[in-house]
Amino acid sequence: MKVKKQSPVLIQKHHLEDWVGRIYTTFCVSLLVIIIVSMIYFVASKGLATFFTSGIHVSDFLFGTKWNPDGEHPLFGALPFIVGSFATSILAALIASPLSICASLFMTEIVPSWGKRLLQPVIELLAGIPSVVYGFVGLTVIVPLFRDIFPGQGIGIAAGAIVLSVMILPTITSITTDALSSLPKGLKESSYALGATRWQTISSVIIPTVLPSILTGIVLGMARAFGEALAVQMVIGNAPHIPQSLFQSAATLTSIITLNMGNTVSGSVQNNALWSMALALMIMTFIFVIIVRLLERRHRT
């Protein structure tokens, strides 16, 4: 059987298309790297100016409990905002994680025939709702509800965590559902063959197997909650102090940055301090990414 040879013109055309593809891909990757490096350099140079130019000590900034940039003796303690960011993110993850895991198990293990077809579009719809809508719903529904049930005005860490838990629900649910759907069928069939019930299989076989993926989804959800600004800003109260309860006004790094950045002069001490908060947010994002990579490596091994 003779093999038909390609003409030199056609071979040259294929080589040209290959080179065009390589050049375009290289350009896109290089542009992406330049943008990321430029962002890191810009935020780091602005954020570090607080300590090298403005003369604020790192410990005073990270562990100071007073934020009063307009006082006679300006104070730039960011600890209340750091505490607020971590409190809302962790509490939101604690609320959203069980709901997400149960929803994923319901879609993939309990009623896989129609559950996934019904619930997954609804959960994906939650991811497309703008942040301002979540904040407005929290302000008009959750805050008055907390005001009637608990002491205080209803705004605070608890209201912010409830809003964020709904916002990160699609992230955790989607990752967990994908992990459960990719499990080999033989794993469950082997468990059933040994006499295990459905719930024993879910609790003793399925969940331990996909636990790294579940943790990855939770970490990504926390990263999403940590960087959210508008929705939290509307329900948390934005008070520059460490709250004594979940129903007391507080503030996060993102809410303080969005509230004050437009009212400061570029290069001023307060402006540099806000950029330092942005740098802290970027560092936390890198830490979340590193944790996710470590969990994925553990899952592969």
**pLDDT tens-digit map of 219-235:** 888 888 888 888 888 89
Chain mean position to CA 177: 18
The whole model's pTM is what?
A: 0.84
Answer whether 159's CB lies under 8 Å from 235's CB.
yes
Q: What is the pLDDT of residue 111?
A: 78
140-156 exposure pattern, b = at least 16 Cβ within 10 A, e = fewer: eebbeebeeeeebebbb
Residues 6+ apart with CB under 8 A from 260: 270, 274
- Averaged pLDDT of the chain: 84
User: Rounded to an integer, what distance in angstroms lies between the CA atom of residue 222 and that of residue 207?
Assistant: 20
**Least confident residue range of 10-19, 25-34, 190-199, 248-257:** 10-19
User: Rounded to an integer, what distance in angstroms lies between the CA atom of residue 289 and that of residue 283?
Assistant: 10
Q: What is the pLDDT of residue 189?
A: 80
Q: What is the pLDDT of residue 289?
A: 83
User: Rounded to an integer, what distance in angstroms lies between the CA atom of residue 255 and that of residue 144?
Assistant: 21
User: Rounded to an integer, what distance in angstroms lies between the CA atom of residue 145 and that of residue 34?
Assistant: 48
User: Rounded to an integer, what distance in angstroms lies between the CA atom of residue 195 and that of residue 191?
Assistant: 7
Q: What is the mean pLDDT of residues 145-170?
A: 89
Identity of the highest mean pLDDT range in 71-75, 120-124, 219-223: 219-223
Q: What is the pLDDT of residue 117?
A: 77
* Cα angle for residues 213, 296, 210 (degrees, 5° grid): 25
User: Rounded to an integer, what distance in angstroms lies between the CA atom of residue 35 and that of residue 227?
Assistant: 20
Q: Cα torsion for 183, 185, 186, 192, to the nearest 10°?
A: 110
Q: What is the pLDDT of residue 7?
A: 62
* Cα angle for residues 271, 252, 144 (degrees, 5° grid): 130
**Least confident residue range of 82-86, 160-164, 185-189, 203-207:** 185-189
